Structure 1
């Protein structure tokens, strides 16, 4: 029977890494300083993909990488872990260069999407495996593992095998296993994706607390905007291998700069040129705003601010009034979201009662209005 003493160390993608040598310059700035360039333009699969992303973070920071499928988020995470080699750029952690450091020698802990717990080991021995790989004795490793399970609220499950753990418990064991190695960089690849909605809510709150207590750098990859907004101090949005926007969650939500980000935070977004309170869109009509600006701008407003009419409102002025056609309807939370095409393509949210009273259906002609006070314009 296999025990933790004779378990064969896993492949680099599964193993807990061993620490890299400390920086030689004691005065070197701590934290993460990376430019990750991975060029696959000449690869045999002819994907033509190139990642070029700059990431910086101080100890204690939680940075979330957001982006659509294929944007390069996971490639960036694998480059940080050393599982995907850099074509160019640099990777420094606490002043030490890691570009040529093998994965198992980096002070990096990884929580994978499917956790990769050893099925034949208990929760305690799964957590103890990392310290054991770094040379700790069995007793020392298990003592450290027990302390982490206690911290995660899993002391009663120390003897449980992974198959006996719930999704949330397995996620916390995986997090404890990564943290037990005392990493200087913690990488989390979609850490909540495998959980059901109810468990996700609880585990998200617990993960937020653990990340807040972590003294080094955390980088989180997710496609879920709520996970990113709740867990991260700063968001880095990646599209087509490039950073298209970064900032605090509040700033990103307030000032989206691409269609992807606008959809992510639930806003209609347009680009145009402002002259006073009027913004002439690059493609489409003009929008009246409360802000008085000049030059290239973005204009955003939420779907909930759109009011629909089947007939042109008799008392409405021509400002922010557009004739549209219903392109599609779908349930959106406890409301109906109408996708509108026509003079100004936009999304509108309304109650099921309102949708029924308006007799909305694909192809129906409607008039859409938005008050200027509910728009937000900002420099492009």
Structure 2
């Protein structure tokens, strides 16, 4: 299924805070941008309104344009059109090095010949602080990051988590009005990522200016951001709070991101006739075009057609693939209704599941969720 929405329709009604692209903040504070960038056949057209104290995450598949958007915000990629205003000031007319913008890159980009202290002090020095002032501010930020004992260490002596925190301290030490984070946790191992994510969340909660995070990781976005902006093919397809988007995905990419089976169809009461073919019985009574979603964990598989089942939804299919998904097995099915189902390793073994196996899939109506498209 392919879904397309214009940017206005992509904003979830009643779910966007004041100051977002769904409405004005009532003042010139914060970020007000329309990023138009044309590069060959690719065109980025993204509007962002972000209030001070708000953290917005840009999500999207590879090539969607989220990194281009971040580079345009940083002044590293010139705009082809649109505007970029921060606290009422036209940033696109301000030299990159003079902008009140801090950037944390995926690979940290620390100066290898400088100590952690001097790396952090570099930003304030570039903004006019004296050497003593810059080093004092750097020492304060390293202490906040729990890195006071590593002030004299050079980047090669730091762990990945420590280097990431030095990079964050360097960005924050300039007292930016716009903080940009480009996949800030991507280079960390799973254990370090958990620790640094929690620490980053605390720092972002205390950050009084605008923060924009680019990530492909849904957990990073859900934990760190107040609002998600999903970009596909250079434009916004959906935005809203993490909880709203997780429950109301509007494209296949978002559904896969939050782990849901997603379909579109026409509702008539509790029955939705899907564009994909069969009907689904839902608890919601609606009329007209809708989405229907349910998690893979809601699907029960049977090798024989079940009798006496309380499930109102029953489809015949064939297993096309099996893979480990966390502590479970995810089965991909084709047939009457292509879907994903999660089951335990024991259940998969008892069903003798393998690619090509024919199965029956059931889903209770109470485990589906229908909402207007």
* Shift of residue 126, structure 1, vs aligned partner: 0.2
Q: Where do 1:177-326 residues align within 5 Å?
A: 177-316=170-309, 319-326=312-319
Counterpart secondary structure, 1:99: helix
Deviations 1:48-80 (A, max 9, x none): 110000111110000000000000000000000
Long gaps (5+) in structure 1:
1-26
Q: Which residue of 2 aligns with 1:37?
A: 36
Worse-superposed segment, 96-105 or 279-288? 96-105
Deviations 1:123-165 (A, max 9, x none): 0000000111112111111001001111111111100000111
Aligned equivalent of 2:111, options 115, 118, 129? 118
Runs of at least 4 residues off by over 3 Å: 316-319
Worse-superposed segment, 127-136 or 201-210? 127-136
* Shift of residue 317, structure 1, vs aligned partner: 7.2
| Contact residue 67 and residue 214 of structure 2 kept, 8 A | yes
Deviations 1:333-369 (A, max 9, x none): 0000000001000000000000000000000000000
Deviations 1:181-225 (A, max 9, x none): 110000000000000000000000000000011110000000000
CA RMSD of aligned residues (A): 1.0
Q: Which residue of 2 aligns with 1:13?
A: none
Long gaps (5+) in structure 2:
1-25
Which is higher, the Rg of structure 1 or of structure 2? 1
Q: Which residue of 2 aligns with 1:144?
A: 137
May I ask how many residue pairs the two structures share in their alignment? 348
Deviations 1:305-340 (A, max 9, x none): 000000000223793100000010000000000000
Deviations 1:73-116 (A, max 9, x none): 00000000001011111111001111222211111000000000
Distance in 1 of aligned mates of 2:344 and 2:136? 56
Q: Tell me if 1:66 matches 2:65.
A: no
Distance in 2 of aligned mates of 1:57 and 1:241? 19
Instruction: Give the alignment's TM-score, normalised by structure 2.
Output: 0.92
Deviations 1:265-309 (A, max 9, x none): 000000000000000001220000000000000000000000000
Counterpart secondary structure, 1:188: strand
| Contact residue 311 and residue 363 of structure 2 kept, 8 A | no
Q: Which residue of 2 aligns with 1:162?
A: 155
Q: Tell me if 1:128 matches 2:127.
A: no
| Contact residue 311 and residue 364 of structure 2 kept, 8 A | no
